[in-house]
Structure 1
Amino acid sequence: MGRQGWQGRRVYGSERGGPAGPVPGHAYVELVGGPLDGQLLDVTGWSEAELAGGALLATDTGLWGPGGRSDYIPDSSAGGSCSRYVWNGDTP
């Protein structure tokens, strides 16, 4: 999960006081598509079951605006790797 090209990338949650970029020793998945495209999600400490479940992430820039959430699921084309989550739609 720790790819070299992730340096300088924005981490989801940084707008709420989290680190702006990747932190050494942390594990990340790349968010692909949707309103959070290109950001990284810190999944440090997540179990395999949690990783397999994807993430429902709060965002003000999705279809539902402030208070909405974007659903990201593991990329099935990644061959079992959880290094990417793809956008699965937005929900209020």
Structure 2
Amino acid sequence: MDEQIMRGRVYGADHDDPDPGPRPGHDYAELVGGPLDGLLLDVTGWTVGERAEGALLMTEIGRYGPGGRAQYKPRPGNPSRFDWHGDSP
């Protein structure tokens, strides 16, 4: 795994977690762009099909505020990066 990815904060980690970074033995995709830019998404155990679909992630800091979601899809040719594709309510 890319050394830069190993230093990021994991999506969904508690804000008061003293070690919000990646865990050994887990697979991560870096979220690129949008409200969750730079966070890591734990994709451990995801099937190839699930990874290809991407993720619709809850976020309070997107266009729709609390309860909104940000859509991320894997980057063609680089599935360890999920690019932002917009927000939804």
TM-score, with normalisation over the residues of structure 2?
0.90
2:87 partner amino acid: D
Unaligned runs of 5+ in 1: none
Q: In structure 2, what is the equivalent of residue 14 of structure 1?
A: 13
CA distance in 2, matches of 1:12, 1:35: 11
Task: After TM superposition, list the pairs within 5 Å mapping 1:1-92 onto structure 2.
Answer: 2-15=1-14, 20-76=20-76, 79=77, 81-92=78-89
Aligned pair count?
88
Q: Post-superposition shift, 1:84?
A: 0.5
Q: Post-superposition shift, 1:5?
A: 1.6
- CA 1:67–1:16: 2 relative to 1, 3 Å: farther
Q: Which has the higher strand share?
A: 2
Q: Identity rate of aligned residues, in percent?
A: 55
CA distance in 2, matches of 1:27, 1:53: 16
TM-score, with normalisation over the residues of structure 1?
0.87
Q: Which has the higher helix share?
A: 1
Poorly superposed stretches of 4+, deviation over 3 Å = 16-19
CA distance in 1, matches of 2:14, 2:87: 20
Provide the alpha-carbon RMSD of the alignment.
Answer: 1.7
